[in-house]
């Protein structure tokens, strides 16, 4: 690989990191959990991880600034590199990961990634991964995991076209194309007259969060299936209902009628599976009134997402700057809703893998991640916010109110949004033709079994990411 310019996506991250050079806002990562039984072979896993990382060309670069702009140059891993294996208790493993996620990689010297295998005292094995966002995104992390699983299982051959040079060439061609110009016209038309300051749920700070607070709620399978059936009755998927619920909650909390959510997307075309950074954040603009019904808002969300998908490659940060927001996309959008697709069947030999994302990018306002699992799996929702302006108590209140809105929209799709009560949980009519199950009581029962987890991630932080 020769010296290459940065892609549009990389340049946005690079510029943001230059503005805050000591901020870990652009550190992303996860850990893959493998069970104690059947046990995974740490040495085989280490070899699979080593090769998958070596194949991901986008990881092995450093960035230098030249007269004509920043460029990336090859920085292959050291000969014999392999992820270290650490023996830790779970508490120490979590503390170790939190400390490492606070790492701010030096873009000029690298490396821009870090891996380790954490063997817990109960026999579980965690594959920890950390990256600078400039070299990959949520989808890219998933592809690296999938490739390592293939290699663990004995796969032969290469990963496919993971060439960074080809990706840069495609990006350069797009930015000089008629398609790029048409995408720009679409976005400028769609956001004409957008409010100068977006409606928000959490105070916006001058820079992305250095530390975030998180709350996680996992709903029971029965509870989640009720939501899926409600979404299906409205002619859509559960993810669209969840996005609409965030929009409705923002409207009810702020009173604003013209709202803009952030919608992270992979920004990949069919067949593109490079682990390099390609994700984007799209402004999802919605008109919401007190008289708007839940069903109407869900339909509007589904229609708008369908329109935006055709123009997903146009960079959100470029759009923000063109619309007069030099501080970036965070001053154009309010809360973000990241729909994380469910990937069933990732196995390392006989061991089923569970992926736990620690950070997928910068956090500003309220960040909501919805794990869109199929029927038979419980719904999971993560809420993240800037710890400097939002504490656990405030975040818990956002969680409570958002669930109330989701409840009301699912149970009474023709109820005007202005009639959704946020301060209490009045009894609502059950879903038609479904067992009468109160959302609130079901949630409380589930909470007793699996209390909502809260944690503070040592990161600042909106691609899917996967989406």
pLDDT tens per residue, range 277-329: 999 999 999 999 999 999 999 999 999 999 999 999 999 999 999 999 878 89
Q: How far is CA 99 from the centre of its chain?
A: 21
- In the chain, the N- to C-terminal Cα span, in Å, equals 30
Residue 185 pLDDT > 70, yes or no?
yes
Does residue 429 have a pLDDT over 90? Answer: no
- Nearest CA-CA partner of 12 in 369, 392, 224, 321: 321
Query: How much is the pLDDT for 350?
Result: 94
The answer to whether position 188 is within a domain reads: no
Mean pLDDT estimate for the chain = 89
pLDDT of residue 376: 76
Give pLDDT, residue 382.
95
Q: Considering its fold, how many domains does the chain have in total?
A: 2
d(CA 458, CA 105): 14
3-state secondary structure labels for all residues of 106-158: CCCCCCCEEEEEEEECCCCEEEEEEEECCCCCHHHHHHHHHHHHHHHCCCCCC
Establish if 183 belongs to a structural domain: no
Beta bridge partners of 4: 72
Shared domain for 237 and 143, answered yes or no, is no
353 and 452 assigned to the same domain:
yes
- Taking phi over 0 as left and psi of -120 to 50 as alpha, with beta for the rest, 398 belongs to alpha
User: Is 427 a residue whose pLDDT tops 70?
Assistant: no
Q: What three-state secondary structure class fits 172?
A: helix
The closest alpha carbon to 61, from 7, 115, 109, belongs to 109
Omega before residue 111 within 30° of 0, cis: yes
Residues 349 and 254 in one domain: yes
Q: Does a structural domain hold residue 301?
A: yes
CA-based max dimension of the chain: 67
Lowest mean pLDDT: which of 12-16, 231-235, 342-346? Answer: 342-346
| Domain-ending residue, one of 168, 183, 214 | 168
Q: Which of 281, 206, 316, 293 is nearest to 244 (CA)?
A: 293
**Are 150 and 225 in the same domain?**
no
Of 124, 120, 56, 151, nearest in space to 347 by CA: 151
- What CATH number did the domain enclosing 391 receive? 3.30.559.30
Specify the range with the lowest mean pLDDT, choosing from 69-73, 154-158, 434-438.
Answer: 434-438
Domain identity same for 311 and 438: yes
Mean pLDDT score, 95-109: 96
- Residue 157: per-residue pLDDT: 86
Q: Same domain for 381 and 421?
A: yes
Helices (H), 153-177: 164-175
pLDDT digits (tens, 9 = 90+) for 357-412: 999 889 989 999 998 777 678 899 999 999 999 999 999 999 999 999 999 999 99
The structure tokens listed for 240 are 């669209």
Mean per-residue pLDDT, 224-238: 93
Q: Are residues 111 and 231 in the same domain?
A: no
In a domain, 77, yes or no: yes
Together in a domain, 247 and 386: yes
In angstroms, the CA 153 to CA 349 distance is 5
In a domain, 325, yes or no: yes
Angle between helix 178-190 and helix 164-175 axes, rounded to 10 deg: 60
Mean pLDDT, residues 154-179 taken together: 92
Note the pLDDT of residue 169.
Answer: 95
Q: What are the beta bridge partners of residue 129?
A: 30, 115
Identify the CATH number of the domain in which residue 62 sits. Answer: 3.30.559.10
Looking at the fold, whether 35 and 157 belong to one and the same domain comes out as yes
- Residue 102 sits in the same domain as residue 224: no
Query: Does residue 150 sit in the same domain as residue 215?
Result: no
Within a domain: 235: yes
Mean pLDDT of 13-38: 94
Same structural domain for residues 405 and 316? yes
What's the confidence (pLDDT) of residue 45? 98
As a whole number of angstroms, the distance between CA 127 and CA 308 comes to 35
- Inside any domain, residue 413: yes
> Are 213 and 393 in contact, with CB atoms under 8 Å apart?
no
Q: Which residues pair with 456 in a beta bridge?
A: 213
Domain boundaries, position 405: 199-457
> Is residue 186 domain-resident?
no
Tell me whether the omega of the peptide bond preceding residue 38 falls within 30 degrees of 0, making it cis: yes
């Amino acid at each position: 690989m020769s010296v290459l310019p940065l892609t549009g996506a990389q340049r946005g991250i690079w510029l943001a990191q230059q503005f805050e050079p000591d901020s870990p806002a652009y550190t992303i990562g996860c850990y893959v959990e493998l069970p104690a039984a059947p046990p995974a072979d740490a040495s085989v896993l280490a070899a699979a991880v080593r090769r998958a990382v070596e194949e991901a060309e986008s990881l092995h670069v450093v960035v230098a600034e030249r007269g004509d702009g920043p460029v990336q140059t090859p920085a292959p891993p050291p000969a014999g590199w392999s992820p270290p294996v650490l023996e830790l208790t779970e508490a120490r493993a979590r503390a170790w990961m939190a400390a490492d996620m606070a790492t701010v990689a030096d873009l000029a010297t690298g490396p821009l990634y870090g891996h380790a295998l954490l063997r817990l005292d109960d026999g579980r094995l965690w594959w920890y991964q950390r990256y600078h966002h400039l070299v990959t995104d949520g989808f890219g992390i998933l592809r690296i995991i999938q490739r390592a699983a293939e290699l663990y299982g004995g796969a032969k051959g290469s990963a496919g076209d993971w060439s960074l040079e080809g990706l840069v060439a495609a990006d350069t061609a797009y930015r000089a194309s008629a398609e790029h110009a048409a995408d720009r016209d679409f976005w400028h038309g769609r956001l004409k007259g957008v409010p100068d300051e977006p409606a928000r749920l959490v105070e916006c700070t001058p820079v992305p969060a250095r530390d975030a607070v998180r709350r996680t709620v996992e709903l029971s399978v029965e509870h989640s299936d009720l939501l899926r059936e409600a979404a299906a009755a409205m002619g859509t998927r559960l993810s669209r209902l969840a996005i609409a619920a965030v929009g409705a909650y923002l409207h009810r909390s702020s009173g604003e009628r013209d709202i803009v959510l952030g919608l992270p997307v992979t920004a990949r075309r069919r067949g593109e599976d490079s682990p390099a950074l390609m994700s984007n954040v799209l402004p999802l603009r919605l008109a919401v009134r007190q008289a708007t019904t839940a069903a109407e808002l869900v339909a509007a969300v589904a229609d708008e997402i369908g329109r935006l998908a055709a123009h997903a490659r146009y960079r959100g940060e470029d759009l923000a700057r063109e619309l007069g927001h030099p501080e970036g996309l965070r001053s154009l959008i309010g809360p973000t809703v990241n729909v994380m697709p469910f990937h069933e069947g990732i196995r390392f030999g006989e061991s089923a893998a569970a992926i736990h994302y620690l950070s997928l990018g910068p956090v500003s306002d309220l960040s909501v991640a919805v794990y869109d699992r199929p029927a038979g799996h419980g719904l999971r929702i993560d809420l993240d916010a800037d710890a400097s302006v939002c504490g656990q108590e405030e975040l818990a209140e956002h969680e409570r109110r958002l669930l109330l809105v989701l409840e009301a929209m699912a149970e009474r799709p023709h109820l005007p949004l202005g009639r959704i009560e946020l301060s209490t949980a009045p009894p609502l009519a059950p879903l038609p033709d479904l067992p009468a199950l109160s959302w609130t009581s079901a949630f409380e029962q589930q909470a007793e079994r699996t209390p909502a987890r809260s944690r503070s991630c040592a990161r600042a932080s909106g691609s899917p990411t996967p989406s």
